[in-house]
Amino acid sequence: MRRIVSRTGYMILILVLSSIAVFYAIRLSGGDATAAALPASTTAEQREAFRERLGLTAPIYVQYFEYAGRILSGDLGNSLTNNADIGDMLIRHGKNSLILGAAAFVLVFAIGIPLGIWASVRRNRAADQGIMTFSVVGMAIPNFWLALLAIWLFASTFHLLPSAGCCELRHLILPAVVLAFEGIALTVRMTRSAMLENLGQDWVRTTRAAGLGEIRVIGKHAFRNALIPIISLAGLRIGQIVGYALVVETIFGWPGLGQVLVNAVLRRDYPVAQFFSLVLVALVVIGNWLADLGYVAANPRLRRA
Amino acid sequence: MTQTSVDEHKSAWEAQLLAFEDSQYLGTVRRLLRGARRNRLVISGTILGLIVLAAAVLGPAILGSDYESQQLRNIHQPPFSIADLPDQTQHFYLFGTDHLGRDVAQRLFVGIRVSLLVALGVTAMSMILGILLGLVGGFTGGWRDRTIRGVTDFVWGFPLILVAVLFAGGLGEGLFPVVLAVGLVNLAAIARVVRGEVLVLKEREFIEAARAGGFSSGRIMFRHVLPNILAPTFVLASYYVAVAIIAEAALSFIGLGAQPPLPSLGVMVAEGRNYLQVNHWESTIPGITVVLMVLSVSLIGDGLRDVFDPRLRHEAKGMES
């Protein structure tokens, strides 16, 4: 219990620190803020007045506290490029990202775990070697290229699925699979080695000797134990999915948080870039915190410490 | 006892210690390499890596490294084609041309160089710094350790692509934010692992023996601890090289990394994506190259881990029987 409280306190500290880091990182460029919003013909005085109005002339730490205050009071500001309300953007794009991220998250475990078990049961046979080769190659293929291959094959050549767009199920399939791919490859490996470790234990031999069927030995006993490290580290997959979503959403034109952030960075729309960086960083921090808690929950010895 | 004989005793003591470390610990690089020479994964990964490296080093010398010239008459040529240049000479296009009539082979070689420079160069630098920080933090403890650990724990948890996008947001797009992000995240990861290894090693008898021999902390750190943590660090580094290659290519692909006309592999894939139906080679050749590079490094990494981790070796033995 004490550990959970201390990990949570640590998580909040990290959240605050990273919000400061993000604020400074996005502000490194400083002067560029006016370039996106104002036409090229604007005079220097007008630009200065614009900065003044946005509060960009105050010292940066003052700006940070003002910004934090505004965010906490729910005033998120507007985009510099199309004046859209950032709060509305968060809701609209956040929903899309949530759908895509959740689909990928489910795929990682729904495909990764069964494949890993199958590989461990058929150890060193053709099925195992095939699955493990897939896993090695799956981790070596960068997802932007996988995305491209998928579009080429399923959209351009066979016309089975749309290459980009939102937000029906047929639009979701390709980006979700691509986003999940590396996670699947990783989960297969983790499941296989955890299963092998358990299948080699004495108590598995004992349950076999006790006359339990093979399905029960694998399904009920070895599997349950093997699942602990995989589920407990599931939080880490959230961070991975957030990182890759930046690339995958951009390629498939899936209007989620990642696509918004990348576009904002490219267009120097700094209020949007700043806020959506904060959102994604917060997601990663929370994912890591969940993994931390899961790790504690899975290791009873740590619970007392 | 005179000073010379004390020194003689100390150096004899140290020689014995070093011999003991060499016989006991897998952690030394020499032992790792000895095992690696016979490992199938390491061998195949190395061969693959050498092919890519040869293309980057020898390719420009043989076929040139002109990545900018456009021959607008010769656009979308397939691989192994020969086409006329404006000056009536003929040019052999090994990998064909792209949508602007640029030589894909020459662009590819330069792209591999960019990728290798970012991945290997940055990982090497972050390894040196990461090892130093982890070593000093883990060995000396106290406020140094707490500071280093606080910073590395903070940085480590973030996905590389997100960190790079943040830097690109502040510094503008280009290779520099990518380099900064890769360097920072890899440094933190390496420092964490090194620190963990040092904490374990610190408790071993031979470090105790070195202390008893009257050697300074600095000397113990660099002569007795450092050589024994290098191997696990190298195993880890191979993984981070792979991560860096993918991150650079992915960021260049979405337009935040290398800027045209500099041909990063990611840029080449991105430019070719609109012409997949016309001449897919413009995109597939750099794409396959990225896969081969990553595959090479991960095979070496997997192999080294098998050599290094005795528990996994045990499993491998069981597989043979």
Residues B106-148: tens digit of each pLDDT:
899 999 999 998 888 888 889 999 999 999 999 988 898 888 8
Residue A2 has pLDDT above 80, yes or no: no
Phi and psi torsions of B222, nearest 5°:
-90, -25
- Per residue in A162-182, is it b (16+ CB within 10 Å) or e — as a string? bbeebeeeebbbbbbbbbbbb
Q: CA of A132 to nearest chain B CA: how many angstroms apart?
A: 12
How far is Cα B235 from Cα B221, in angstroms, rounded to an integer?
21
Q: CA of B319 to nearest chain A CA: how many angstroms apart?
A: 8
Residue B98 has pLDDT above 70, yes or no: yes
- pLDDT, residue B28, reads 67
Per residue in A172-225, pLDDT (tens digit) is 999 999 999 989 998 998 888 888 888 877 777 788 788 777 777 777 777 877
- pLDDT, residue A175, reads 92
- pLDDT, residue A177, reads 93
Element (DSSP H or E) covering residue B84: strand B81-84
- pLDDT, residue A84, reads 84
Residue A240 has pLDDT above 70, yes or no: yes
Residue A26 has pLDDT above 80, yes or no: no
Among B157, B169, B269, select the one facing A288 at the smallest CB separation. Answer: B157
Contact between residue B162 and residue A280 where contact means Cβ atoms under 8 Å apart:
yes
Taking residue A23's Cβ as centre, other Cβ atoms within 10 Å add up to: 19
For chain A, the straight-line distance linking the first and the last C-alpha, in angstroms and rounded, comes to 9
Could you tell me the two tokens for B42?
Answer: 């390491």
Choice between A303 and A228, residue whose per-residue pLDDT is larger: A228
What integer is the mean pLDDT of A128-132? 90
Q: Where are the alpha helices (DSSP H) in chain B?
A: 3-24, 29-36, 40-63, 104-116, 122-140, 142-156, 160-171, 175-202, 205-212, 217-219, 226-253, 265-272, 276-279, 281-308, 310-320
Choice between A140 and A89, residue whose per-residue pLDDT is larger: A89
Mean pLDDT of chain A: 83
Per residue in A27-85, pLDDT (tens digit) is 766 555 566 666 667 777 777 777 777 667 777 788 888 888 888 888 888 887 788 88
Residue A124 has pLDDT above 50, yes or no: yes
Residue B315 has pLDDT above 50, yes or no: no
Please check whether residue B319 touches A, CB under 8 A: yes
Contact between residue B193 and residue B236 where contact means Cβ atoms under 8 Å apart:
yes
Residue B171 has pLDDT above 50, yes or no: yes
Residue B300 has pLDDT above 80, yes or no: yes
B88 to A224, B73, B105: CA distances (angstroms): 72, 13, 21
ipTM: 0.82
- pLDDT, residue A34, reads 63
Peptide bond into B261 cis (omega under 30): yes
Predicted confidence band of residue B4 (pLDDT cuts 50, 70, 90): confident
How far is Cα A248 from Cα A185, in angstroms, rounded to an integer?
17
Q: CA of A259 to nearest chain B CA: how many angstroms apart?
A: 10
Taking residue A159's Cβ as centre, other Cβ atoms within 10 Å add up to: 9
Taking residue A299's Cβ as centre, other Cβ atoms within 10 Å add up to: 13
Please check whether residue B115 touches A, CB under 8 A: no
Choice between B28 and A68, residue whose per-residue pLDDT is larger: A68
The single residue listed with the structure tokens 């985009």 is A79
Mean pLDDT of chain B: 83
Please check whether residue A98 touches B, CB under 8 A: no
Chain B contacts in chain A segment 193-232 (CB below 8 A): 196
Cβ separation B165–A14 shorter than 8 A: no
Predicted confidence band of residue B24 (pLDDT cuts 50, 70, 90): low
Chain B contacts in chain A segment 265-294 (CB below 8 A): 265-266, 270, 273-274, 277, 280-281, 284-285, 288
List B90's β-bridge partners, or say none. B84
pLDDT > 70: percent of chain A: 92
Residue B94 has pLDDT above 60, yes or no: yes
Among B154, B161, B266, select the one facing A246 at the smallest CB separation. Answer: B161
Predicted confidence band of residue A103 (pLDDT cuts 50, 70, 90): very high
Choice between B34 and B123, residue whose per-residue pLDDT is larger: B123
Among A26, A251, A285, select the one facing B166 at the smallest CB separation. Answer: A26
Contact between residue B194 and residue B134 where contact means Cβ atoms under 8 Å apart:
yes
- pLDDT, residue A32, reads 54
pLDDT > 70: percent of chain B: 93
Residue B257 has pLDDT above 60, yes or no: yes
Please check whether residue B273 touches A, CB under 8 A: yes
